[in-house]
Structure 1
C-alpha cells in the first residue's frame, strides 16, 4: 500500500481526522482549529432543493457556506473541555450556533462528557460540518437531512473503549439529553421543536480498514408550526430512530452504506469511492421511502489540492416517486418533481 492510499483510508475511517490533523497549538494544553466550505451550485428546478440550503435554478454562491472554530483545553491528563461554534449554511454570519460545548473526563477505558454534545446518529456525525473530512461535497442528504439539520443535544454521554483483539475496537456510548429547543425553516414554514427527552445508544466496531456502526435514539418532542396565517401547536409525541452504517476499504476502493429507519422514513444510500493519488472519483445511489419517496444518483470527483484544502465537482439527478416532493422542500408549481443539481465545492481546515 502506498502513502496516498494509507492517508486516504485513515482519513475516511477515522472519527478524529479533523482534530488530529488540523489544529494550532496556542500552548501545550490549548489548541484552536477551524474549518469551512463554500460552493457554486445550481439546479434545473425552480423549486428549492434541501432543507437549510434551498438550492434553486438560480446560481447560488452561499447555499453551502459553512465556517467553524473549535477550541480544546486539556486541564489534566484526564480532564478536558471543547467548544465548537459553527456558521451553518442556514445561518447568517452574525448569528452562528454553539454546536458543542462540553467537559470531558477520562478514567480507565471510560470517557464521560457533559454539556452540549453532537448527536451520534451517523458515520460522519462527529465531523458533520467539516467538509474536508468526507469524500463528497455534502453527506448524502436522503439520510443526513432526514432529521432536518438537528445535530446536537444537551446532556451527558459515556463511552467505553473495548479492545476486541489486536486489530479491532468496540466503542459503546449510551447518552441522555435534557430539554432543548431547535428551529427549522422549511420554505415559508417555521418549525419550533421542543425536545423534552433524548435517550440513545451508539455502538461502533472498527479496525484498520472497516467501521460498523449502530445507533438507537428515542426522542419525546412537541412542535409548533408557524405559517403566514399563524401558529399551530401540536401535542407531544415520541419517535424512535434506528441508524446502521458500514464502511469498508479494499485498498484504494472504499464502500460506504447507511440506513435510517423511523415511523416516517426508510432511507438509505450506498457509495463507492476510488482513490488515485490526489483524485478520488465517487458515485452514490440513494433512496427515500414512506413520507418522502425519492431516488437519486450522484457522480463526483474530489481533488486534494493539499492535505488541508480540497475541491469537489458533482452532478446529481434526483427523482421523486409517486408524485411526492422528494428532496424538494415544497410542492412544485409546475409539477416537476425531478431535478439535476450541479455543485463546485471548496473545503478547508486549519
Structure 2
C-alpha cells in the first residue's frame, strides 16, 4: 500500500480526534494540542444559512472561525483526564465553550469516563470542531445541524472494546446525562434548552477500511423561547452512519431520524496525492424540507494544514425553512454557497 493511500484512509476514517504527532508533549504524561478553522464564504441569498453561522450574501470572514485547545494528562496506566475548550463559530473570543472535561479510567477492554462528554451521535462527533479531521469544509448541515448545535452532555459513559477478530472491532457505549443547559440563537429568536436527563447507547463496528455506527438517544427537555416557556417534551433520536474506503475512493453516508426529522446525506471522495475532490448530496424531510448538492476539493498543504474550496446549491423546497434559518426574504428559497476554508492542527 502506498504512503499516500494509507494517509488518506487514516484521515478519512478519523479513528482518533486528530493526528498524534501534532501533539506537544510538555512532559511524558502531559500533552497539549490544538486546532482551528477560518474561511471566506458568501451566499447569493440574503436569508441567512446555517444555525450558528448565519451566512448571507455579504462576504463573511468569520462565520466559520473556530479555535480549540485540548490538554491531556495520563496520571497512571489506568487514570487519565482530558479538557477541550473551543471558540466555536457562534462564540466570541472572550467566551469560548468548555466542550469536554472528564476523568477517565481504563482497565483491560473497558473505558469509563465521567464529566462533560461529547454526544456520540455522528461519525464526526468526536472531532466535530476539528476541520482538519474530515474531508469537506463542514460536516453536512442537514444532519449535523438538526439537533441545533448541541454537541456535549454532562454525565457518565462506559465503553466496552470487543475484538471480534484480527481485523474487526466492536465498541459498545451506554451513557447517561444529568441536567444541563444550552442556548441557541436562530435569527432574532433565542432558544434556551434545559435538558433534564439523557440516556443513550452508541455502537461502532470498525475495521481497517470501514466504520459503521448506530446511536440511540432519549432526552427529556424544556424549551424557552425569548425567555418565555415554550415547550416541555421528550425526544428519541436514532442515527446510523457508515464509512467505507476502496483503493482511493471513500464513501460516507449518515441518517438521522426523530419525531421531527428524517435527514440524510451521502458523500463520495477520491484521493489524488494531496488533492481530494468530493461530492455530497443531502435531504431533509418532515419539519425541515431541504435538498442540496455540494461539490468541493480539499488540498493538503502539509500533514497538519489543509485548504477547502466548495460550491453548494441548496433548495428549501418551496418555503419550508430547510437550511434557510429564517423565513426567506423576497421569496427566494434556494441559494448557492461559496466557501474557501483553511484548517489546521498543532
Give TM-score, length-normalised by structure 1: 0.98
Q: Pick from 339, 342, 345: which aligns with 1:343?
A: 339
- Partner residue of 1:189? 189
- CA distance in 2 between counterparts of 1:108 and 1:279 reads 40
Name segments (4+ residues, structure 1) moved above 4 Å.
Answer: none
Structure 2, unaligned stretches of length 5 or more?
none
Deviates further, 33-42 or 7-16: 7-16
Within 5 Å, give how 1:65-214 maps onto structure 2: 65-214=65-214
Checking the alignment, whether the CA contact within 8 Å between 1:11 and 1:17 is kept in structure 2 is no
Q: What do residues 181-238 of structure 1 show as CA deviations (whole Å, max 9, x unaligned)?
A: 0000000000000000110000000000000000000010001000xxxx32034210
- Partner residue of 1:237? 233
- CA distance in 1 between counterparts of 2:56 and 2:235 reads 31
Offset at residue 17 of structure 1 (A) = 4.6
Offset at residue 14 of structure 1 (A) = 3.1
Offset at residue 254 of structure 1 (A) = 0.0
- CA distance in 1 between counterparts of 2:316 and 2:252 reads 23
- Partner residue of 1:278? 274
- CA distance in 2 between counterparts of 1:265 and 1:297 reads 19
Q: What do residues 30-59 of structure 1 show as CA deviations (whole Å, max 9, x unaligned)?
A: 000000000000000001000100000000
Q: CA RMSD in A?
A: 0.8
Offset at residue 21 of structure 1 (A) = 3.5
Give TM-score, length-normalised by structure 2: 0.99
> Given the alignment of the two structures, is residue 326 of structure 1 paired with residue 322 of structure 2, yes or no?
yes
Structure 1, unaligned stretches of length 5 or more?
none
Offset at residue 321 of structure 1 (A) = 1.3
Q: Pick from 284, 294, 299: which aligns with 1:298?
A: 294
Offset at residue 314 of structure 1 (A) = 0.1
Offset at residue 155 of structure 1 (A) = 0.1
Aligned-partner SS, 2:93? coil
Query: Cα distance 1:125–1:21, how it changes in 2: closer, same or farther (>3 A)?
Result: farther
Offset at residue 326 of structure 1 (A) = 1.4
Q: What do residues 118-148 of structure 1 show as CA deviations (whole Å, max 9, x unaligned)?
A: 0000000000000000000000000001111
Q: How many residues align?
A: 346
